[in-house]
Structure 1
């Protein structure tokens, strides 16, 4: 302990290191003697203590904010989205600091797993690949994607079929069913129709699944003035935004979770889609899909 006290005099200048050592030794030595050895005035010492306390309080407050957002989104948000949400709330904080806070406190967002592909194509009808892996967009309703993914549980299987806007990432329509029949595709497309969006010349892209080759589907896509597009056979990268959504969705609300029944899972899927559309930040948009769409058309109307 004496060795540590004498070490104070060897540290050049006024540093926080001296203050830290003084704090450690205060229970054994008089503060007055330690300050003399360290060559620090009492006022300087208290300034460092006050500054350090304030910094620790700020650090604790920042952790609390990050943790609240992390928990609110059930571990789905990584540091980029948490940073955006904090900035949207008015806090001046950068990604580097949020990343450090999360790393130091073991807050890790879920990582995507590969989705289960359950459909094979046997029909001969084909549509041109109008997107050709160019998923870039300049506005909502420019390019849409659709597909079906499976949820396997102890109580059976559920099939989820959405239509996704590639620009906003909004789920414009969807259907959940324990039977992947054509009725599911019909309900999904009818739901999109009921929304009343102007979809003139909007591209809707899918794989070569049998649902998208049925006459009813082709005819109703045309009635909505949509332009149908299909991936090349067996090439999941041709519809990667939709594939990526399935992976993210399962990480955030399915993998590692327990469900008491298929109806419970259906309720959780519906709850997740509402959250995803209305609350979850899309990093590139800096807001949620629905808020972005509403603001986009509000500006256009103005």
Structure 2
């Protein structure tokens, strides 16, 4: 059995790795472990691309206007009142399901949140008595309730570890990997009861495919057969967009169909052929595929261009293209972009393209490829799938 080929990295990749260390404030060891790199390699890239400033920036100082005792007292009172109102609003928001005037559910909500809010305040908002709550607490706890409490804590931890991106199917898959014998239905009920759900957002669409050209079109060689016998036999490629305050940031990506790993990517402020070519170059440099690999894309001008076709020929790849205006012919790539946007992009307001690049790099290399469980490959991470045949 052949070993894994030695990894090779583009300048874009090295720069993004170094930028992630500096922008996140995390240690080199922590980031290197997340990205599957050696500490010494990442440290060298940081020194190369992110040199330390020679002197710290000075912060301007301002003179504070003296405040009278009465003013300070009033500000303290207003802050206290504002905090009370904020807590009441939060309690109402979190306890919608308990507003059926079901005392048992209300008591359970109070128990779950008593470390975060005053008990008497929660009782007042939910219209139950403190005495009733304390009496409820004194009742013997059933084994089922104890088991549910332990399971809830485990569910919260898995959900937190995924940054809120996992719904009940993936949470259940992680729990099973941890050796917890529980049904998916029970996990779903507990998550619904406690308001734990995957972060989602409505899609926003911008056309990134221009197939109005007279360039050569390759036949569809995969015909929606989204399986591959081994790594680096079938790659999928596509382009999407990311909104920022500076304008669109375009992301080109290449996916290995066998493992669902993103093997190449590039981000630019334009959607020219160079964008798609840069993603392909990264994929080839990192994976070093053998001749005969099928490269599938849409009919966009980027993939039909002479430059791109020549790159495929030099790498010994065979071009394949979707039918016109049929996104389902490249469904796994569409699924990746959907995950990227619903789990990350739609929950951010990027001021700059550089900020978006750092965030997306961390998502792809630190989470999607190495941690995120994929239903299409049996709820394991792409890197695990790839290592199965290494």
1:236 and 1:160 mapped to 2: Cα distance? 17
- Contact 2:373–2:379 at 8 Å: present in 1 too? yes
- Contact 1:186–1:217 at 8 Å: present in 2 too? yes
- Answering whether residue 251 of structure 2 is matched by residue 251 of structure 1, we say no
- For residue 168 of structure 2, what is the aligned residue in structure 1? 79
SS of alignment partner, residue 160 of structure 1: strand
- Contact 2:244–2:349 at 8 Å: present in 1 too? no
1:230 and 1:266 mapped to 2: Cα distance? 28
- For residue 214 of structure 1, what is the aligned residue in structure 2? 305
1:127 and 1:112 mapped to 2: Cα distance? 35
SS of alignment partner, residue 246 of structure 1: helix
- For residue 380 of structure 2, what is the aligned residue in structure 1? 287
Deviations 1:156-199 (A, max 9, x none): 11000000122221101000111222221221111112114334
- Contact 1:162–1:173 at 8 Å: present in 2 too? yes
Q: CA deviation at 1:245?
A: 1.3
- For residue 120 of structure 1, what is the aligned residue in structure 2? 210
**Within-5 A mapping of 1:34-113:** 49=140, 52=142, 54-111=143-200, 113=202
- Contact 1:147–1:162 at 8 Å: present in 2 too? yes
Gaps of 5+ in 1: 1-26, 28-47, 298-302
What TM-score, normalized to structure 1?
0.77
- Answering whether residue 285 of structure 2 is matched by residue 194 of structure 1, we say yes
Q: CA deviation at 1:229?
A: 0.4
1:96 and 1:281 mapped to 2: Cα distance? 19
Q: CA deviation at 1:280?
A: 0.5
When Rg is computed on C-alpha atoms for both structures, the one with the higher figure is 1
- Contact 2:206–2:241 at 8 Å: present in 1 too? yes
Against the structure 1 CA distance between its residues 169 and 113, is the aligned structure 2 distance closer, same or farther, given a 3 Å change threshold? farther
Aligned length: 251
- Contact 1:112–1:247 at 8 Å: present in 2 too? no
Q: CA deviation at 1:113?
A: 4.4
C-alpha RMSD of matched pairs (Å): 2.2
**Within-5 A mapping of 1:150-161:** 150-161=241-252
Gaps of 5+ in 2: 1-130, 132-138
2:243 and 2:350 mapped to 1: Cα distance? 11
- Contact 1:148–1:162 at 8 Å: present in 2 too? yes
- For residue 4 of structure 2, what is the aligned residue in structure 1? none
SS of alignment partner, residue 184 of structure 1: helix
Deviates more, 1:87-96 or 1:158-167: 87-96
What TM-score, normalized to structure 2?
0.60
- For residue 254 of structure 2, what is the aligned residue in structure 1? 163
1:232 and 1:286 mapped to 2: Cα distance? 30
